[in-house]
Amino acid sequence: MDTQTLVLVVAIGALWLSFTCGCVALYLFLVRGRAGGVPVAQGAAVVSNGSLSPQSAPVLLNQQSAAWEVQVLFEAPSPALNDRLGVTLSSLGAVYEQRSKTFAVTGDSSRTPIVIENAVGAGQLPPLTESPASQPPVKGVSIKIVKNSRTLTPSKLQLAKLVSLSKKLARLGGTVVDAEQQPITPAGFNAVIQGQARV
């Protein structure tokens, strides 16, 4: 192999290596940007073991509706948001309940399904399959696990699903708040999943 061929092979190898590294770096950058895209409040009080102190943990139990609840309040309600909300709920497997005018996500536990309803007014959501122009914009949704009995508490799987649904809906342009209308921090989401939220 002469010198000219060797230089050409090394140059092609260097270009291939730099292109591959660039693609990997771009992929990691995009994945990190997408994972951190949920707007939540920052700076909650955290104790030394990484969990929230009891007084700053999110409040999940809504006494009025007897349900474990978080809300996603949308910053810019519009017919286009209604359209995106309908597509997102459909992709999450939510089924519209015509009688109660809410969406239900059964998932792994049909015993206590997760209910998604309007956070404003009587809690009734439009079917979101009709023309968006004929419906009022949805200003927020409540994501609830209905409390069927006094002793029944949601499992960690249901609480993780509640957090996951709230984060996915918040990506549409909203903020996740607890039953006392306080924004939930990333540490607060972890406390909810671990069953350490206040009730």
Rounded to whole angstroms, the Cα distance separating 44 from 107 reads 31
- In sequence order, the 6+-apart residues with CB closer than 8 A to the CB of 128 are 82, 83, 85, 86, 89, 96, 135
pLDDT, position 179: 78
Please tell me whether residues 88 and 167 are part of one structural domain: yes
**Domain contains 46:** no
**Domain contains 4:** yes
pLDDT digits (tens, 9 = 90+) for 100-156: 888 888 766 556 778 888 888 777 787 776 665 677 888 888 888 877 666 667 778
Domain encompassing residue 113: 54-193
**Domain contains 101:** yes
Instruction: Give the total number of structural domains in the chain.
Output: 2
CB 29 within 8 A of CB 147: no
pLDDT higher than 90, residue 11: yes
pLDDT, position 9: 92
Please tell me whether residues 7 and 97 are part of one structural domain: no
pLDDT digits (tens, 9 = 90+) for 19-56: 999 988 888 878 776 554 444 444 444 444 445 455 56
Domain of 168: which CATH number?
Answer: 3.30.1400.10
Please tell me whether residues 144 and 88 are part of one structural domain: yes
Please tell me whether residues 60 and 138 are part of one structural domain: yes
